[in-house]
Amino acid sequence: MDKNEELVYEMLKSLPEEYLIINDILIMEKGNGYQHQIDHVVVSIYGIFVIETKGQYGSIYGKENFKSWKCYYQNNESIIENPIKQNYGHVQALINILGINQKAFFPIVCFINARNLRCDIDTYSSYVLKKDELIEYILGKDEEIISPEQIDNIYNTILNNSNPSTSNTQNHIDGITYKNNTEIDCIKNGKCPNCGRNLIIRINPKTHQEFWGCEGYNDKSCFYTHELLEDDF
Protein backbone atom coordinates (compact mmCIF):
# COMPACT_ATOMS: atom_id res chain seq x y z
CA MET A 1 0.00 0.00 0.00
CA ASP A 2 1.13 3.56 -0.61
CA LYS A 3 0.92 6.20 2.13
CA ASN A 4 -2.56 7.35 1.12
CA GLU A 5 -3.92 3.80 1.21
CA GLU A 6 -2.22 3.24 4.57
CA LEU A 7 -3.98 6.34 5.91
CA VAL A 8 -7.35 5.04 4.75
CA TYR A 9 -6.61 1.65 6.31
CA GLU A 10 -5.86 3.32 9.65
CA MET A 11 -9.21 5.09 9.41
CA LEU A 12 -11.04 1.87 8.54
CA LYS A 13 -9.59 0.15 11.61
CA SER A 14 -11.74 2.48 13.71
CA LEU A 15 -14.87 0.69 12.43
CA PRO A 16 -16.55 -1.83 14.77
CA GLU A 17 -15.01 -5.30 14.69
CA GLU A 18 -17.91 -6.80 12.72
CA TYR A 19 -16.71 -4.84 9.68
CA LEU A 20 -14.16 -7.05 7.88
CA ILE A 21 -11.43 -5.20 5.98
CA ILE A 22 -9.41 -6.40 2.99
CA ASN A 23 -6.59 -4.24 1.59
CA ASP A 24 -4.56 -3.94 -1.61
CA ILE A 25 -5.63 -6.93 -3.70
CA LEU A 26 -5.79 -7.98 -7.34
CA ILE A 27 -8.91 -9.70 -8.65
CA MET A 28 -8.59 -11.41 -12.03
CA GLU A 29 -11.46 -10.87 -14.45
CA LYS A 30 -12.87 -14.12 -15.79
CA GLY A 31 -12.44 -14.69 -19.50
CA ASN A 32 -9.69 -12.23 -20.40
CA GLY A 33 -7.19 -12.28 -17.54
CA TYR A 34 -7.45 -8.55 -16.82
CA GLN A 35 -6.64 -7.76 -13.19
CA HIS A 36 -8.44 -5.21 -11.04
CA GLN A 37 -6.27 -3.60 -8.37
CA ILE A 38 -8.60 -2.80 -5.47
CA ASP A 39 -7.40 -0.60 -2.62
CA HIS A 40 -9.89 -1.55 0.10
CA VAL A 41 -12.98 -3.74 0.54
CA VAL A 42 -15.10 -3.57 3.70
CA VAL A 43 -17.54 -6.46 4.19
CA SER A 44 -20.49 -6.05 6.54
CA ILE A 45 -24.14 -6.98 6.94
CA TYR A 46 -24.90 -3.45 5.74
CA GLY A 47 -23.19 -3.96 2.40
CA ILE A 48 -19.85 -4.36 0.68
CA PHE A 49 -17.93 -1.09 0.47
CA VAL A 50 -15.40 -0.94 -2.38
CA ILE A 51 -13.01 1.96 -1.88
CA GLU A 52 -10.73 3.57 -4.46
CA THR A 53 -8.23 5.86 -2.73
CA LYS A 54 -6.89 8.96 -4.47
CA GLY A 55 -4.09 11.20 -3.23
CA GLN A 56 -4.51 14.31 -5.41
CA TYR A 57 -4.38 17.72 -3.72
CA GLY A 58 -6.39 20.86 -4.39
CA SER A 59 -9.65 20.95 -6.30
CA ILE A 60 -11.06 18.01 -8.23
CA TYR A 61 -13.43 18.49 -11.17
CA GLY A 62 -15.19 15.64 -12.92
CA LYS A 63 -18.40 14.20 -14.29
CA GLU A 64 -19.71 10.68 -13.98
CA ASN A 65 -19.57 9.83 -17.68
CA PHE A 66 -16.32 11.61 -18.63
CA LYS A 67 -13.24 9.55 -19.45
CA SER A 68 -10.92 11.75 -17.36
CA TRP A 69 -11.10 14.26 -14.49
CA LYS A 70 -9.07 17.41 -13.80
CA CYS A 71 -7.13 18.34 -10.67
CA TYR A 72 -6.02 21.88 -9.89
CA TYR A 73 -3.35 22.53 -7.27
CA GLN A 74 -1.05 25.56 -6.89
CA ASN A 75 -1.84 26.85 -10.39
CA ASN A 76 -1.06 23.46 -11.95
CA GLU A 77 -3.53 21.25 -13.79
CA SER A 78 -3.28 17.46 -13.99
CA ILE A 79 -5.48 14.78 -15.52
CA ILE A 80 -6.53 11.49 -13.92
CA GLU A 81 -8.61 8.56 -15.16
CA ASN A 82 -12.27 8.83 -14.16
CA PRO A 83 -12.16 7.08 -10.76
CA ILE A 84 -15.87 6.24 -10.84
CA LYS A 85 -15.42 4.17 -13.99
CA GLN A 86 -12.27 2.66 -12.54
CA ASN A 87 -14.05 1.60 -9.35
CA TYR A 88 -17.11 0.41 -11.27
CA GLY A 89 -14.89 -2.18 -12.94
CA HIS A 90 -13.69 -3.29 -9.51
CA VAL A 91 -17.25 -3.81 -8.33
CA GLN A 92 -18.15 -5.82 -11.44
CA ALA A 93 -15.14 -8.08 -10.87
CA LEU A 94 -16.29 -8.75 -7.30
CA ILE A 95 -19.86 -9.40 -8.45
CA ASN A 96 -18.54 -12.01 -10.89
CA ILE A 97 -16.72 -13.99 -8.21
CA LEU A 98 -19.34 -13.57 -5.48
CA GLY A 99 -22.56 -13.87 -7.47
CA ILE A 100 -24.17 -11.15 -5.35
CA ASN A 101 -26.60 -8.52 -6.59
CA GLN A 102 -25.06 -5.14 -7.37
CA LYS A 103 -27.42 -3.49 -4.86
CA ALA A 104 -25.30 -4.98 -2.07
CA PHE A 105 -22.28 -2.89 -3.14
CA PHE A 106 -21.37 0.67 -2.25
CA PRO A 107 -18.56 1.97 -4.52
CA ILE A 108 -16.63 4.83 -2.91
CA VAL A 109 -13.93 7.12 -4.30
CA CYS A 110 -12.07 8.78 -1.42
CA PHE A 111 -9.83 11.79 -2.11
CA ILE A 112 -7.53 11.91 0.91
CA ASN A 113 -5.88 15.29 0.28
CA ALA A 114 -8.47 17.19 -1.78
CA ARG A 115 -9.72 20.58 -0.61
CA ASN A 116 -12.72 20.85 -2.93
CA LEU A 117 -14.72 18.25 -4.84
CA ARG A 118 -16.72 19.49 -7.82
CA CYS A 119 -18.11 16.22 -9.10
CA ASP A 120 -21.29 15.89 -11.14
CA ILE A 121 -22.81 12.50 -10.29
CA ASP A 122 -26.28 11.82 -11.70
CA THR A 123 -26.85 8.27 -10.46
CA TYR A 124 -26.13 6.32 -7.30
CA SER A 125 -23.42 4.33 -9.05
CA SER A 126 -20.70 5.75 -6.78
CA TYR A 127 -19.97 8.15 -3.96
CA VAL A 128 -17.09 10.65 -4.08
CA LEU A 129 -15.92 11.70 -0.63
CA LYS A 130 -13.19 13.49 1.26
CA LYS A 131 -11.36 11.61 4.00
CA ASP A 132 -13.31 13.12 6.89
CA GLU A 133 -16.55 11.87 5.30
CA LEU A 134 -15.55 8.24 4.78
CA ILE A 135 -16.24 6.60 8.14
CA GLU A 136 -19.41 8.58 8.71
CA TYR A 137 -20.71 7.47 5.32
CA ILE A 138 -19.98 3.78 5.98
CA LEU A 139 -21.59 3.86 9.43
CA GLY A 140 -24.54 5.73 7.98
CA LYS A 141 -25.60 2.58 6.13
CA ASP A 142 -27.59 0.79 8.83
CA GLU A 143 -30.04 -1.37 6.89
CA GLU A 144 -29.12 -5.06 6.92
CA ILE A 145 -28.86 -6.30 3.33
CA ILE A 146 -26.52 -9.28 3.80
CA SER A 147 -27.24 -12.04 6.29
CA PRO A 148 -24.65 -12.58 9.05
CA GLU A 149 -24.24 -16.17 7.83
CA GLN A 150 -22.96 -14.90 4.46
CA ILE A 151 -20.26 -12.59 5.79
CA ASP A 152 -17.47 -15.12 6.39
CA ASN A 153 -18.13 -16.79 3.05
CA ILE A 154 -17.97 -13.46 1.19
CA TYR A 155 -14.78 -12.47 3.00
CA ASN A 156 -13.05 -15.80 2.34
CA THR A 157 -14.19 -15.96 -1.30
CA ILE A 158 -12.62 -12.56 -1.97
CA LEU A 159 -9.37 -13.62 -0.32
CA ASN A 160 -9.28 -16.93 -2.17
CA ASN A 161 -9.73 -15.19 -5.53
CA SER A 162 -7.17 -12.45 -4.95
CA ASN A 163 -3.44 -11.92 -4.98
CA PRO A 164 -1.28 -9.31 -3.23
CA SER A 165 -1.12 -6.45 -5.73
CA THR A 166 2.55 -5.49 -5.27
CA SER A 167 3.85 -8.58 -7.07
CA ASN A 168 1.67 -8.06 -10.14
CA THR A 169 2.14 -4.39 -10.94
CA GLN A 170 3.33 -4.85 -14.52
CA ASN A 171 0.56 -7.33 -15.29
CA HIS A 172 -1.95 -4.79 -14.00
CA ILE A 173 -0.48 -2.02 -16.19
CA ASP A 174 -0.50 -4.27 -19.25
CA GLY A 175 -4.07 -5.19 -18.46
CA ILE A 176 -5.16 -1.56 -18.36
CA THR A 177 -3.97 -1.07 -21.93
CA TYR A 178 -5.82 -4.18 -23.05
CA LYS A 179 -8.95 -3.14 -21.14
CA ASN A 180 -9.01 0.36 -22.66
CA ASN A 181 -8.72 -1.02 -26.19
CA THR A 182 -11.44 -3.60 -25.58
CA GLU A 183 -13.74 -0.98 -24.04
CA ILE A 184 -13.53 1.30 -27.09
CA ASP A 185 -14.20 -1.63 -29.44
CA CYS A 186 -17.34 -2.51 -27.47
CA ILE A 187 -18.58 1.08 -27.55
CA LYS A 188 -18.04 1.30 -31.31
CA ASN A 189 -20.20 -1.83 -31.65
CA GLY A 190 -22.90 -0.35 -29.43
CA LYS A 191 -22.35 -2.89 -26.65
CA CYS A 192 -21.75 -2.35 -22.93
CA PRO A 193 -18.18 -3.43 -22.00
CA ASN A 194 -19.36 -4.58 -18.57
CA CYS A 195 -22.49 -6.62 -19.21
CA GLY A 196 -22.76 -6.97 -23.01
CA ARG A 197 -26.17 -5.35 -23.37
CA ASN A 198 -26.92 -2.50 -25.77
CA LEU A 199 -25.65 1.03 -25.25
CA ILE A 200 -28.06 3.89 -25.85
CA ILE A 201 -27.43 7.61 -26.09
CA ARG A 202 -28.69 9.43 -23.02
CA ILE A 203 -28.83 13.12 -22.17
CA ASN A 204 -27.49 14.62 -18.95
CA PRO A 205 -30.45 16.57 -17.53
CA LYS A 206 -28.16 19.18 -15.96
CA THR A 207 -25.73 19.88 -18.81
CA HIS A 208 -27.87 18.61 -21.74
CA GLN A 209 -24.79 16.78 -23.04
CA GLU A 210 -25.22 13.41 -24.72
CA PHE A 211 -23.36 10.31 -23.53
CA TRP A 212 -23.46 6.53 -23.90
CA GLY A 213 -25.30 4.62 -21.18
CA CYS A 214 -26.09 0.93 -20.72
CA GLU A 215 -29.73 -0.04 -21.15
CA GLY A 216 -29.30 -1.92 -17.87
CA TYR A 217 -29.71 1.40 -16.06
CA ASN A 218 -33.46 1.08 -16.58
CA ASP A 219 -33.65 -1.82 -14.11
CA LYS A 220 -30.66 -0.61 -12.02
CA SER A 221 -28.60 -3.68 -12.97
CA CYS A 222 -25.78 -1.84 -14.80
CA PHE A 223 -24.71 1.79 -14.48
CA TYR A 224 -22.02 1.89 -17.17
CA THR A 225 -21.59 5.26 -18.93
CA HIS A 226 -19.04 6.76 -21.31
CA GLU A 227 -18.66 10.07 -23.07
CA LEU A 228 -19.38 10.02 -26.79
CA LEU A 229 -16.43 9.09 -29.01
CA GLU A 230 -15.16 11.50 -31.67
CA ASP A 231 -16.63 9.21 -34.34
CA ASP A 232 -20.07 9.64 -32.76
CA PHE A 233 -20.30 13.33 -33.60
The predicted model gives 44-65 an average pLDDT of 93
Average pLDDT for the chain: 83
Domains by residue range for the chain, with CATH: 3-167 (3.40.1350)
CB 197 within 8 A of CB 212: no
Whole-model pTM: value is 0.72
The amino acid that residue 5 corresponds to is E
Q: Is 220 left (phi over 0), alpha (psi -120 to 50) or beta?
A: left
The predicted model gives 99-107 an average pLDDT of 93
Q: How far is CA 148 from CA 3, 12, 38, in A?
A: 32, 20, 24
A 10 A CB-CB count for 160 gives: 8
Return the pLDDT at 1. Answer: 77
Candidate from 8-12, 157-161, 218-222 with smallest mean pLDDT: 218-222
| Residue 193: CA count within 13 A, CB half-sphere | 23
The amino acid that residue 118 corresponds to is R
Residue 31: which pLDDT band, with cuts at 50, 70 and 90?
low
Residue 143 has pLDDT above 90, yes or no: yes
- DSSP assignment string, the chain: --HHHHHHHHHHTTS-TTSEEEEEEEEEPTTT--EEEEEEEEEETTEEEEEEEE---EEEEEETT-SEEEEEETTEEEEEE-HHHHHHHHHHHHHHHH---GGGEEEEEEESSEEEEEEE--SSS-EEEEHHHHHHHHHH--S--S-HHHHHHHHHHHHHTEEEGGGGHHHHHHHHHHHHHHHHHHHHTTB-TTT--BEEEEE-TTT--EEEEEGGGGGTS---EEEPPGGG-
The predicted model gives 67-76 an average pLDDT of 88
Rounded Cα distance, 129 and 94, in Å: 22
Residue 120: which pLDDT band, with cuts at 50, 70 and 90?
confident
